[in-house]
Structure 1
Amino acid sequence: MNQQEIIKFFDRRAPDWDAEMIRDDAVIDAILDNAGVKAGDDVLDVACGTGVLIPDYLQRGVSRITAVDISPEMIAHARRKFSQPNVHLICADVETFAFESAFDRIIVYNAFPHFFQPARLIEKLAGDLKPGGVLTVAHGMSRASIDQHHQSTASSVSIGLMHEDQLETLFGQYLTVTVKISNERMYQVAGTKAKF
């Protein structure tokens, strides 16, 4: 599996992404609550797609949203939807992109199985957090549902969703894990960076 395959896959899916999206607002609210997303935060949305969570961040009054995706077509669709001055859309590989400043909250929503080197991703994102900041990996479905969905639609660009205990161990190398949930409605692991 290579990065070009992933880009092509998501470029092809971009035109229909919003129409095919299934949202559970209560689950999204719980994920963002667990991540502590609040007014004034500087948020990084990793693998943002067409900007699915951007309205949720704006509703919470965050000060700045940096949304990054490797797919040019996903970012193009997001740019057509969002022109607010505090929304910054970047087409880049988050694992190698050098951000100008650190973030209060970093969210990887419905995207983690598409990163083929998860340990490297977590290390990079932990480094992009401000002291006291929170990194969250989350899905709006159960782990079993995500894996089943990817097997039928995205097996060539997905490694499967890591067991929450394994992800907790990865997080624990850099962060203090504050949330670990895996049930029939959602999956989330969140960790806080030490303040000192």
Structure 2
Amino acid sequence: MMNDREFFNQVAFKWDDMCHHDKNKINYIIDISEVKKDSKILDVGTGTGVLIKYLMDTKPKEIHGVDLSENMIQVAKSKYKDDRVKFYAEDIVEFNEEKDFDYVFIYSAYPHFKDKKKLFSHLRKLMKENGKIIICHSQSKEDINRVHASKEAVKEHILPKAEITCEIMKDYFKINKCIDNDEMYYISAVK
């Protein structure tokens, strides 16, 4: 059985052709997240850096993209030649290079984290007081779970109902917004 790193390394170079991301929905996600100018942003599970293009429109101070897959990071690095964008190929729960993030985004990656409590506990330590964490998908949880069910390596990576995620997050953050419908999955919370 292939582990997550192997799976994502294997699909990295064809990822952008495999996955469709609705740019209108991503722009909506950025809008409702109310990202302020000159922010320090962490993009968890950045993959090929899909979200970074949209985050750049908010005129950030810096963006740090972290992903388990070295090949995903290689693809992301090839897309962005901006000094404000830095990439790290490592497990987010071992990432400690930077702290004091204003925003933490987990876009299209949340189901891939097995230990959600460990994830939130660690991310909390990387955030500024009153920093905001956003978990989002530009598709419904049903769509995400259907795609994952069809791939052996990620068939157990289920996106839970937003209320279940909020229940786990409540121990670490104050829930701000929660959307779980046939268009998207979105949760924002504040430290």
TM-score (normalizing by structure 2): 0.94
Counterpart of 1:12 in structure 2 is: 10
Letter of the 2:52 counterpart: I
Match among 79, 83, 86 for residue 88 of structure 1 = 86
Counterpart of 2:145 in structure 1 is: 147
Does the 8 A contact of 1:35 with 1:135 survive in 2? no
Kindly state the Cα deviation for residue 64 of structure 1 after the two structures are TM-superposed. 0.3
Cα distance 1:68–1:116, how it changes in 2: closer, same or farther (>3 A)?
same
Counterpart of 2:97 in structure 1 is: 99
Q: Distance in 1 between matches of 2:95 and 2:136?
A: 22
Alignment length, in residue pairs? Answer: 191
Deviations 1:129-150 (A, max 9, x none): 1011100111111111111110
Cα distance 1:12–1:104, how it changes in 2: closer, same or farther (>3 A)?
same
Q: How large is the Cα RMSD of the aligned pairs? A: 1.5
Does 149-158 or 104-113 show the bigger shift? 149-158
Counterpart of 1:132 in structure 2 is: 130
Task: Give % identity.
Answer: 29
Counterpart of 1:43 in structure 2 is: 41
Structure 2 residues not aligned, in runs of 5+? none
Kindly state the Cα deviation for residue 90 of structure 1 after the two structures are TM-superposed. 0.5
Kindly state the Cα deviation for residue 34 of structure 1 after the two structures are TM-superposed. 2.4
Match among 52, 55, 64 for residue 53 of structure 2 = 55
Does 90-99 or 64-73 show the bigger shift? 90-99
Does the 8 A contact of 1:115 with 1:158 survive in 2? no
- Give the 3-state SS of the residue equivalent to 1:95 in structure 2: helix
TM-score (normalizing by structure 1): 0.92
- Give the 3-state SS of the residue equivalent to 2:117 in structure 1: helix
Structure 1 residues not aligned, in runs of 5+? none
Counterpart of 1:29 in structure 2 is: 27
Does the 8 A contact of 1:133 with 1:192 survive in 2? yes
Does the 8 A contact of 1:6 with 1:157 survive in 2? no
Does the 8 A contact of 2:149 with 2:155 survive in 1? no
